[in-house]
Chains A and B, each alone.
Chain A
Amino acid sequence: MSSAEKKPIVGLFATCLVDMMRPSVGFAAAKLIEDSGCEVVVPAQTCCGQPAFNSGDRRTARDLALQVIDAFSGCDYVVAPSGSCGGMMAKHYPELFAGEPMLARRAQAFADKTHELTSFLVDVRGMERVSARHTGQATYHDSCSGLRELGVQSQPRKLLASVQGLELVEMKEADVCCGFGGAFSVKYGEISDAIVGKKAGNIVASGAPMLLAGDLGCLMNMAGKLSREGRKVEVRHVAEVLAGMTSEPPIGAPAKGENR
């Protein structure tokens, strides 16, 4: 059987936030991965374990990591529409098994086949362009883990540049944290609010009517702040625009025809 006939199997790790809050991102990610010439499967999944890892509960993080590694064992690649969960799986899983050589090797093999969505499309699959159209300007926020752990910066911009009618307008300090930080956003809500307030200011100052990013946690934080401030900025996951799947209302916005 030639390799052209057999498509790589990609396990879509939807992330717990997409699973719960915004399934349309999962479908958009699946479409993009399929467009890159892969078959998509969605093994039963809960969470990558990052909340436990960052709360100091290493044992739970390790148990959940094993659960994910097992669930995706039949996949050639694991792809997440998130740099945060992607970073957890691709950078931190191997750390969790220090001193357990057999498991550490499995975790490393898993980490090596795991990618954030846009970097998978561009760096692994060599995708040059997408077929979507969207008329208007958008600005893009670089989520921290994707940017600094996985080097996701040029890939989403490259693909966005190929969206017909879309003009990317860079905001100031696009690479500065939005203040989400998982549990931080609730444990230190007031500080988180101050940080996202500055971010919202930069988003609004860009003049773009649409905000895109690659992580739903950050997006919910920024969307929540923008709507609390009464700003009319449409907030979406970058995969929705790249896949041309923007029929769902933006994050935190009512469906068309419903009251605001």
Chain B
Amino acid sequence: MSHHATSPQFRDNAHKALGDAQLQRALGNMRTGFPERRAAAAARLPEFEALRDSARDIKNHVLAHLDLYLETYAAKVEAAGGHVHFCRDAAQANQTIVDICKSLGAKTVTKGKSMISEEMGLNDALDAAGVKPIETDLGEYIIQLRGETPSHIIAPAIHLNKDQVEGDFRRVHQHLPKERDLSQPVQLLTEARGVLREKFLAADVGVTGANFLVAETGSSIIVTNEGNGDLTQTLPKAHIVVASIEKIVPTLEDASQLLRVLARSATGQEMSVYTTISTGPRRPEDPDGPEHYHVILLDNGRSSMLGTEFEDMLRCIRCGACMNHCPVYHAVGGHAYGWVYPGPMGAVLTPTLIGVDKAGHLPNASTFCGRCESVCPVRIPLPKMMRRWRELEFERKLTPGVQRTGLDLWAFMAKRPRLYSFAMNLGVKAMALAARGKGRFGKLPLAGGWTDYRDLPAPEGGAFQQQWKAKRGGPR
């Protein structure tokens, strides 16, 4: 089971998002904040660009030897007393988690923030099995109350304003007296913390994602800013780590390298507030920790990306920098993309996971401004890969008919310089004449895609090549 994708309705989604004043206000706050903080963090570290190279190389190395590192990792987890479950797809992974929960008689499951669990639709699967999932990351907790999906991979509730959150808390937290002041973010945080504390203590199973899985030690690493991940994975009697197979890194040293670019790229922090490493279940000498430790290693289409032009996408460490710097994301927000992963990384990854026939808008809705690639900590060539999707669409004749016909007609002309030049010269002269006195068109037949929103500047009149010839003679 997985989220119903609204990606085919991207255009409608975007239209609604652009007309949503509340959403636009929320997006306005992130548009400059994230880029400024990232730039400052990068500027403070002279070796930042070299670290990006190193981060890219570590991930490339892992992808070239993924089988080896997965085996090593699994053996280490087992040696530490944990269990590894290789799962081909979301359904198998969900079933495995449900089975573990049932075997422990679990009633509630606390969850750390995990995008892979969103991809799997884990909460729905748990609900359907009668196990109650409780999101413990504040943003995730808020959107769970609202029945929404994350709109950003590291800031899931970034589409909301604090007044909306107050409304949700008053609706769901029945114990709240009316006079209790919740107007400030810190008051909302305190309220959520109080409610979640009891959930942490009552939970039977804790599920976390993983930022990295370390092959040499069999450890999983998570980073959070709230400490919710630590309580999720240490208090219940079982800890289930769910991660996709490309999260593996060879050594703790490699993980440290990647951690140095992760938070800086994501939030502009040097490190996240909590970086937690867990290895197997509680040992006899440990003061706390889970009795059971399981790792769900999910493929869900990753292995079929290996060796293809989309392999580079498997380097992604889910920092969110690409969407933080994306003008399209800033305009429409994450929900418009219609599935789990928004922004440039989503525009590349989503078609591999749900099909380009459903997600074709995503790689097309880009200006190719390249800002995403310029900040990606592992240097994924995102625009190039979005273009690759457009090529695959074109090859499979999925490109819309009107666009294709237009392109064919234009190509016919562009391959015939004399004809092109003759026709252009006449065309622009006619256009210039039509716009005389105004210098622009407010409306032009067949150009509504442009003139519905902005004026079309008129040509000066007469093509450059003709004028050059007239003034300067032949080409030489």
CB pair B450–A189 under 8 Å, yes or no, is yes
Partner among A16, A42, A258 whose Cβ is within 8 Å of the Cβ of B468:
A42
Which of A160-212 touch B at CB < 8 Å?
Answer: 172-173, 175-177, 179-196, 198
CB pair A64–B415 under 8 Å, yes or no, is yes
Contact with A along B376-416 (1 / 0, CB 8 A): 00000000000101111111000100010001001101111
CA distance A12 to B416 in the complex (A): 19
- Give the one of A14, A56, A198 with max B CB within 10 A: A56
Residues of B within 8 Å of A183, CB to CB, are: 403
- Give the one of B11, B424, B450, B454 with max A CB within 10 A: B454
Which of B240-269 touch A at CB < 8 Å?
Answer: none
Which of B405-452 touch A at CB < 8 Å?
Answer: 407, 410-411, 413-418, 420-421, 424, 427-428, 436-440, 442, 447-450, 452
Interface size on A, as a range, is 35 or more
CB pair B457–A223 under 8 Å, yes or no, is yes
CA distance A67 to B471 in the complex (A): 25
CB pair A20–B437 under 8 Å, yes or no, is no
Contact with A along B139-152 (1 / 0, CB 8 A): 00000000000000
The segment from B60-68, B312-320, B362-370 that touches chain A is: B362-370
CA distance A145 to B428 in the complex (A): 26
Instruction: Name the residue on B nearest A184 (C-beta).
Output: B367
Residues of B within 8 Å of A144, CB to CB, are: 367-371
Given A183-B403, A184-B365, A258-B436, residue A251 in contact with residue B457 (CB < 8 A):
yes
CB pair A22–B371 under 8 Å, yes or no, is no
Contact with B along A25-56 (1 / 0, CB 8 A): 01100100000000001111111010111111
Q: Is B463 an interface residue (CB 8 A)?
A: yes
Partner among A20, A27, A64 whose Cβ is within 8 Å of the Cβ of B463:
A20
CA distance A30 to B367 in the complex (A): 29
Residues of A within 8 Å of B440, CB to CB, are: 223-224, 227, 252-253
Residues of B within 8 Å of A52, CB to CB, are: 407, 411
CA distance A225 to B439 in the complex (A): 14
Residues of B within 8 Å of A42, CB to CB, are: 464-465, 468-469, 472, 475
Shortest distance from the beta carbon of A38 to any chain B beta carbon, whole Å: 14
Q: Is B53 an interface residue (CB 8 A)?
A: no
Instruction: Name the residue on A nearest B386 (C-beta).
Output: A54
Q: Is A149 an interface residue (CB 8 A)?
A: yes
CA distance A43 to B159 in the complex (A): 52
Residues of A within 8 Å of B437, CB to CB, are: 254, 258-259
CB pair B454–A196 under 8 Å, yes or no, is yes
Residues of B within 8 Å of A224, CB to CB, are: 440, 450, 454-457
23 CB-based A-B contacts, threshold 8 Å: A23-B467, A43-B475, A44-B465, A52-B407, A54-B387, A54-B390, A56-B390, A56-B392, A57-B394, A63-B415, A64-B414, A144-B370, A148-B371, A184-B365, A191-B14, A193-B454, A195-B328, A198-B330, A223-B455, A225-B453, A252-B457, A254-B438, A258-B439
Among all A-B residue pairs, the 6 with the closest Cβ atoms? A181-B367, A56-B394, A56-B390, A186-B449, A252-B457, A224-B454
